[in-house]
Structure 1
């Protein structure tokens, strides 16, 4: 086990090595990573904020296909699938497993906001880089980004670029998976650049064994296609059009049941096919447990230079649809089977006016508009029909339909006053107005006796029945989000900064099946805006072969949006936790030891806890004290750590590019990520605690022809660690795991070089 003492010793050794390496290797230079988190091209070392980035080439070399895998190298950032949502957390803060929530960690793909958690599933293909912004984002990425933001930037072929044709083949041995990825970029005229990219993946075996059916489950199959056109009608004007389509699916249940006393005894013994066929007849378009997801994203970017000032307009359209069917009783008998069907459409437009850079005052002003529709259904079945018994026995069918229409408008401005050659002050403000229309369908519990479906009006509030039929409501809110940063270039190599920002995430309405009601029986579906105020101080040191960044931060959350569910205690409420504080220290750095060896490292200390939350949902294992009110379904979580908040986490990496002659090069890498224990259940049940772990990834291969071709063996999670994404107590403990060990052979050929 990696102790804190051993970790501190390792960090001290690495720091000493980094310093020594700086003296010995002045003839080398680290490759700069250009980012656009400030809406201008700059480097990480020049930005007064906590940010990490990884290039698309490095992700491809390490076999990183999605954000879940990338998160292992970014301490205090977690991404992983659950039954109803994909869970995203930054510094111990994130949206709970509620389908109505937008994410507290906002995601932007090529400048377009993607608020739905399942959009985080999109695999990386032909990515230029991914930027991870930690802490509340107020002005430039201030759309519901109270915990942070993720920006994914795709590659493009610009007019005049050389023709590019790349083909990558990968075979995974553990699960017999095959991946084919191709890229073709061409500039047919000096005014037009075209790029086509495609990726197909299919695993023959699933990563998990169903002990009841004997089948291997969760074998993924995915297809991603993207087309990009860059047109420059004049030297001052650029139009970029992009369209991408993604299809993802797998068969089998999503979760694993745990043993009686711990989650170490993993098993998968669910057979929900029979009930799934019944439930699927209503909303979900699949006839057995599994998941299917389709998405279409279209973007059009207009840029024009007006004598140094730049006008930018980004129009976006996003269409997401996904269906899931899963066993929710955690046994081999399909007594309770659930499904989700979601459709989401969004249209957005952002316009920015940017001043020339390098003036006494640099500034950006802009406006944003978005409208969207979200429709969600959750068909479930409970009773004898789920057992395949078509007799005159009671059964309940739930078809919970709900939806919302959202309209958001905002304006923003940010400016940097370059007071001197070494001192600058940045201040900005964003105003956001959000209006939401919410509705619930008329379908409720249905008696399926003898195949007849008759609405049961006598039990509208039964536990598995849908309450609030026909409920409609409307809410609006507006928020001001300021930001202020001070940057001092102490030396040519050292920059020191301080930053304070206030962000907000709009409130809304719950999409959960079980909701609280007031004393008169009125549905309590609404939750308030979430607000975060963050303060951070940092330093960034950069020399030719050595970089070191350090950030000390504290963020206070008011009215944190939470949703918890537990069948044993009856907890299933959507509410706002009064006060949460997350604070800590983050370190990351790079060192070019020689011209063929580069070391990377990151470390995070995190303290995130509920400062005031004495009416939290009670966990099934009784690990929280009772609520002061005496409510048996509530508990006092004041002073408890938040989910996904390991006290210590970090990563170490080594990349090798060693020449083996005139035309061959050894390419290799070793990557270690580690984490303290943390909670994985929204009710804070200790039974769902993830133990501390170390995860090892590695690669080794040969590259030739000046980068024209490469062959590498890539291993991820080589020690086969069982790492939990999310947990829930539903007729037994169920958890959702990250990918087990994979070993793949990957080959790339670049034609025409």
Structure 2
């Protein structure tokens, strides 16, 4: 999108938001804590989208993936092995050794692991999405942005809520119970319990069931009290079980010889028809969280805050990672166990002075254990010896990592003469990591038991080699930020900022070999280095009684990008292989058209370009430019549509019987984007417009509410993420004696049309 078009769109929006009509009703102010302090959204000089907890509840949104569809330049996808958060096209690759480029911050506690991004979103005050590097206040690894989630707090008056909803097409039911109020003169409590069950929408012919199934239970308890010195304490304890069965996946787009080889009795279903066929797949996850927060008011009006937390989760998954009905890699399973303790102490000055500042220190200790077990199934027998000799053999991979990190940070707002404000901030971090990876091959019960041919065949067919490696690393980083803002009036400001960000290096969890592994070609790496970013933004924000509007232009350079490149067989090569530049804009606004009728909209444009990535995996049919790799310099990236937008109307009116009718019509738009890391054009998402509608009827006393909630009413078939079916080319070559080449793909899809009915009772 060219600069002239951007300018015209921004000017049109400003004129619209500033139109001279007046009404008795005023636009409700949105409060955020993107800079730790409570501020109006329009006063925060960064690109941030905020979604109120009531809106999340009314739309029956219960996870980040569902929420992300309505926030431009923000995408959350649940893949076969993890959950990925992307802002402005910046995300972590599919390797559990990578720190998250966009961490989730829940009630002041960083959730750095992808599995924690699946935490249910229930009973919240708000969710804030901060775009661009956010290292100063949200940690060194927030190189792409941050997602800040704030839960609803205990109330001084007793209140309760019961909510239940049902969606018939996918047999989904959800329930929520909230109890909040005083337990004594100084003690408040809040209990939140939610459950969700769903059958899914894709028929798995082999397993004779509908997928993806969901079974989730979430419990949060909070105690809040104030002592005689006006010190506020809050204790939060959470526990959750979120389990799933199957994928929202289909095999599709067979190329060349694939359809000839996988035909007849071994046919693979590749029609896009909500039908798939594969073996057993499920994921079982438990999460426990403890957070103790103290806010200590000081005599000078400032506040000393302490946040102590312990987070842990266990994950056990059984996977059919060949993604087809044939028994090739069925029974693959992996586990992940994570434990984290953290302590943050910060001082926040009173605010409203010529110098407002925040200073603090942070410490985190974490341990992660990951196992990965892959057996080879009976389909290999069709290939004949010596490949058929691998049937019944397996690999077993164990990864362990421990880390300790500390950091100090500060940010100061300095009021200058003439409506100018200078903001400076920085975070210094130091992190030590110890990691080890052990991969063994086992042929027990087969003809290869104890034979050196076991290693030879695994290397020749699957590029896997046994190994045992361990090492330690230590790194430090300094991430500064400078921002200059100018108040054009009491209701408008402009700002420009410069930020540096970094993301920690580490060790490769998923590797199947290491440099020097005997018999294995193109062996994967083991250690990767720190990733860095430099970001410049210019923004404008305005507000009035009936309108708000903000616009941000950004340009960012990334160096030493951590990449994970599929070797075309079964493994990945990890390293710092690329650099990228991106630029674009985000704009969003709200406008009160008349009493009870509000228009809201947002629009984003993104141009993401690799400036140096010579060793990417080639797409099918693409000629290698560097040995076995392809040069992606000048190309875009996965999950980065050029244009995304959201728009809608919110309407509310009082009926003759004093009941309140409300309606919210919402449209999400995305242009085309790549869904595979090798940018294969055979499986792109071609773009979509998705419509949602919420109709609500609420009693005059606010106790009862009945809602009809529709999502994806246009029934768009949306590819979320995709890839190459593992071993597809290998088996086509084996079956045809090398005479044929061919491939097919797999894709995970967003949920199709669904309409739920929801009943709320407040007491």
Normalised by the length of structure 1, the TM-score is 0.91
Q: Which residue is 2:173 aligned to?
A: 178
SS at match of 2:318: strand
1:545 partnered with 2:542: no
2:716 to 701, 721, 724: 721
RMSD of aligned Cα (Å): 2.8
Mapping 1:267-278, distance limit 5 Å: 268-272=275-279
Deviation of 1:578 (Å): 3.0
Which is worse superposed, 411-420 or 519-528?
519-528
2:747 to 701, 711, 735: 735
1:323 to 305, 316, 326: 316
Q: Which residue is 2:40 aligned to?
A: 43
Deviations 1:208-250 (A, max 9, x none): 1113444212121110000000111135201110011111112
- 2:510/2:571 contact within 8 Å kept: no
- 1:336/1:381 contact within 8 Å kept: yes
Q: Which residue is 1:313 aligned to?
A: 306
- 2:318/2:334 contact within 8 Å kept: yes
SS at match of 1:611: strand
User: How far apart in 1 are the matches of 2:483 and 2:675?
Assistant: 34
Pair 1:386–1:114, CA change in 2 (3 A):
farther
SS at match of 2:55: helix
Deviation of 1:605 (Å): 0.9
Deviation of 1:329 (Å): 2.1
Deviations 1:356-375 (A, max 9, x none): 11122111111111011111
User: How far apart in 2 are the matches of 1:393 and 1:486?
Assistant: 64
User: How far apart in 1 are the matches of 2:275 and 2:619?
Assistant: 23
User: How far apart in 1 are the matches of 2:29 and 2:687?
Assistant: 33
User: How far apart in 2 are the matches of 1:290 and 1:29?
Assistant: 49
Deviation of 1:322 (Å): 1.3
User: How far apart in 2 are the matches of 1:503 and 1:315?
Assistant: 25
1:580 partnered with 2:580: yes
User: How far apart in 1 are the matches of 2:25 and 2:97?
Assistant: 50
Q: Which residue is 2:87 aligned to?
A: 90
Q: Which residue is 1:66 aligned to?
A: 63
Q: Which residue is 1:302 aligned to?
A: 294
1:744 partnered with 2:756: yes
Pair 1:61–1:460, CA change in 2 (3 A):
same
SS at match of 1:89: strand
Deviation of 1:594 (Å): 1.8
SS at match of 1:740: coil
Deviation of 1:466 (Å): 5.1
Mapping 1:422-571, distance limit 5 Å: 422-441=419-438, 443-449=440-446, 456-457=454-455, 461=459, 464=462, 467=465, 469-515=467-513, 517=515, 524-565=525-566, 567=568
5+ residue gaps, structure 2: 257-269, 729-743
Deviation of 1:577 (Å): 3.1
Q: Which residue is 1:356 aligned to?
A: 350
2:152 to 151, 155, 160: 155
Pair 1:13–1:297, CA change in 2 (3 A):
same
Deviations 1:245-294 (A, max 9, x none): 1111122245321132598735643332xxxxxxxxxxxxxxx4211111
2:650 to 655, 668, 672: 655
User: How far apart in 2 are the matches of 1:393 and 1:238?
Assistant: 63
User: How far apart in 2 are the matches of 1:169 and 1:299?
Assistant: 28
- 1:394/1:448 contact within 8 Å kept: no
Normalised by the length of structure 2, the TM-score is 0.90
Deviation of 1:111 (Å): 0.4
Deviation of 1:459 (Å): 5.6
Pair 1:253–1:388, CA change in 2 (3 A):
farther
Deviation of 1:701 (Å): 2.2
User: How far apart in 1 are the matches of 2:8 and 2:661?
Assistant: 27
Deviations 1:459-507 (A, max 9, x none): 6745647545321011111110000111111111211011110010000
Q: Which residue is 1:598 aligned to?
A: 598
Deviations 1:434-466 (A, max 9, x none): 111011135334454179798945567456475
Mapping 1:622-641, distance limit 5 Å: 622=622, 626-627=624-625, 630-632=626-628, 634-641=629-636
User: How far apart in 2 are the matches of 1:121 and 1:448?
Assistant: 39
Pair 1:121–1:14, CA change in 2 (3 A):
farther
Deviation of 1:13 (Å): 12
SS at match of 1:687: helix
Q: Which residue is 2:259 aligned to?
A: none
User: How far apart in 2 are the matches of 1:388 and 1:125?
Assistant: 50
- 2:525/2:573 contact within 8 Å kept: no
Deviation of 1:133 (Å): 0.2
Deviation of 1:725 (Å): 2.3
1:416 partnered with 2:413: yes
SS at match of 1:93: coil
- 2:173/2:196 contact within 8 Å kept: yes
SS at match of 1:626: coil
User: How far apart in 2 are the matches of 1:433 and 1:333?
Assistant: 48
Pair 1:313–1:446, CA change in 2 (3 A):
farther
Q: Which residue is 2:670 aligned to?
A: 675
Pair 1:218–1:10, CA change in 2 (3 A):
farther
- 1:25/1:592 contact within 8 Å kept: no
User: How far apart in 2 are the matches of 1:532 and 1:392?
Assistant: 49
Q: Which residue is 2:732 aligned to?
A: none
Deviation of 1:385 (Å): 8.3
- 2:465/2:517 contact within 8 Å kept: no
- 2:243/2:285 contact within 8 Å kept: yes
SS at match of 1:350: strand
Deviation of 1:339 (Å): 2.4
2:246 to 245, 252, 260: 252
Q: How many residues are paired up?
A: 722
